[in-house]
Amino acid sequence: MSAKIPVTVITGFLGSGKTTTIRHLLQNNQGRRIAVLVNEFGEVGIDGELLRSCQVCDEEDATNNIVELTNGCLCCTVQEEFFPTMQQLLKRREKIDSILIETSGLALPKPLVQAFRWPEIKTSATVDGVVTVVDCEAVANGTLVGDIDALEAQRQADPNLDHETPIEELFEDQLACADLVLLTKVDMVDEATLNKVQNWLKEQLPKTVKIVPCIGGEISPDVLLGFNAAVEDDLDARPSHHDTEEDHEHDDEINSVHLILEQEFEPKELVEKLKRLAINDEIYRIKGFVAVPNKPMRLVLQGVGSRFDYFYDRQWQKEEVKQTKLVFIGRDLQLKKIQSELVDILSNLKARRFS
- Tell me, letter by letter, the H, E, C secondary structure of 238-297: CCCCCCCCCCCCCCCCEEEEEEEECCCCCHHHHHHHHHHHHHHCCEEEEEEEECCCCCCE
Q: What band does 63 get if pLDDT is binned at 50, 70 and 90?
A: very low
Pair 96, 65: CB distance under 8 Å: yes
pLDDT at 254: 60
pTM of the shown model: 0.64
Angle at 33 (CA atoms; ends 29, 35), nearest 5 degrees: 100
Angstrom distance (rounded) from CA 101 to CA 38: 6
Q: What band does 79 get if pLDDT is binned at 50, 70 and 90?
A: low
Q: 147 vs 82, which has greater pLDDT?
A: 82
How do residues 131-182 score in pLDDT, each as one tens digit? 999 999 888 887 664 334 543 444 455 343 333 445 678 888 899 999 999 9
pLDDT at 329: 75
pLDDT at 200: 92
**23 pLDDT exceeds 70?**
yes
How do residues 225-275 score in pLDDT, each as one tens digit? 988 899 999 888 887 776 655 544 544 456 778 888 888 888 988 888 888
Residue 244's alpha-carbon distances to 234, 249, 272, in angstroms, are 17, 13, 45
Q: 254 vs 119, which has greater pLDDT?
A: 119
166-176 vs 191-204: helix axis angle to the nearest 10?
Answer: 80
